[in-house]
Amino acid sequence: MPDLIRLEYRNVTMRFTQGASRLTAVEGVSIAVRDGEVVSLIGPSGCGKSTLLNIGSGLTAPSEGEAFVDGERVEGPNEHVAFMLQKDLLLPWRTVAENVMFGVEIQGVPAAERRRRAKSLLETLKLAEFSGHYPHQLSGGMRQRVALARTLAVDPTVLLLDEPFSAVDAQTRMVLQRELAQTLQRAGKTALLITHDLLEAVTLSDRVLVMSRRPGRIIDEIPIEIPGRDDPLKRRLHPKVAGYVNRLMERLDIGHLETTGAPV
């Protein structure tokens, strides 16, 4: 069922009140992500991308509109969604394997099944030999891979990824991007990927959504018509990439920002 909608935002508006001041973070955002699709969301910082992620994962309720996951209205945290942030959020007192099992443990999955899932994920993400290590013994890239394993361990249908690789170095990032792309492809997961990296958005996704400055609205939607979504390293070399990146730069007003200085 390729047209089944896994994640949907319907006319979502989010306002924050802080003391006397009211701030509209996102306004009238509608997004629909189909089964197995990977959609990137890019936009200037502070335009409400993380806010949308929090709404999708059920951590905050929108001021207006609603979010749906697997056809169900999001009323709070639920098993269909899992998120991963720029911060790995590993617990320092847990080993790698124990960290991977954190979510399934809370969800009450039986111990034997927890260990089975952790073991197989650690193997696919090339972390098996580190399963007994503590987070401080790992590099940033490895820690992020453990975080990905923890996210996948709860077997969500939808992954919400908030700048997952922006804190790792450029080379490790490319490796992690390929691993993510392959894992998403293999497991047929649906994902919404928030990123600042235009090339990452183009090479990893089926579609890129561009948001405006605050109050964030969707101002453009670019389908990426390059084959081989599971191999971003190869996709990166495709001649169409430059055109997409260029269009994103235009939509984000990047050349303009440089000449006039960044607006507030």
Partner 1 sequence: MNGSNHSLAIRGTTLSVALLIVFLTAWQWGPGLLRIPPFIIPPLSAVFNEAVRMWNVSGLAFHTGITAAEVLAGFILGSLLGASIGYLIGMSPTAEFALSPYILALQIAPKVAFAPLFILWMGFTIYPKILVAILIVFFPVMVNVLTAIRTVDPDLINLARAFKAKRAQIFWRIEFPASLPPLFAGLRIGSTLAVVGVVVGELVGGNAGLGYLLSFGEGQANTAMVFVAIVMLTLVGGLAYLLVILIELRVLHYLPKRAQMGF
Ligand X SMILES: Nc1ncnc2c1ncn2[C@@H]1O[C@H](COP(=O)(O)OP(=O)(O)O)[C@@H](O)[C@H]1O
Least Å from the CB of residue 29 to Mg ion: 15
Give yes or no for residue 50 binding Mg ion (CB under 5 A).
yes
Question: Which of partner 1, ligand X, Mg ion, none lies near 25, with the C-beta cut-off 5 to 8 A by kind?
Answer: ligand X
Q: Residue 84 forms beta bridges with which residues?
A: 161
Burial class (CB in 10 A: 0-12, 13-18, 19+), 220: middle
Q: How far is the CB of 3 from partner 1 (least distance, A)?
A: 27
Q: Residues 116-155: x/- map of binding to partner 1 (CB under 8 A)?
A: ------------------x-x-----------------x-
Q: Which of 25/248 has CB closer to ligand X?
A: 25
**92 lines the binding site for partner 1 (CB under 8 A):** yes
Which DSSP symbol is given to 181?
H
For residue 238, what is the DSSP state?
S
Element (H or E) spanning 179, and its range? helix 170-187
Q: Which residue is nearest to Mg ion (CB)?
A: 50
What is the C-alpha to C-alpha distance for residues 15 and 162, in angstroms, rounded to an integer?
Answer: 20
Q: How many CA atoms lie within 13 A of 113 on its CB side?
A: 10
Q: How many helices (H) and strands (E) does the chain have?
A: 10, 10
For residues 82, 62, 7 and 47, what is the CA-based torsion angle, rounded to 10 degrees? -90
Least separation in angstroms between residue 56's CB and ligand X is 12
Instruction: Note whether 21 binds ligand X by CB under 6 A.
Output: no
Residues making contact with partner 1 (CB under 8 A): 54, 57-59, 77-79, 81-83, 85, 87, 89, 91-94, 102-103, 105-107, 134, 136, 154
Residues making contact with ligand X (CB under 6 A): 16, 18, 23, 25, 45-51, 214
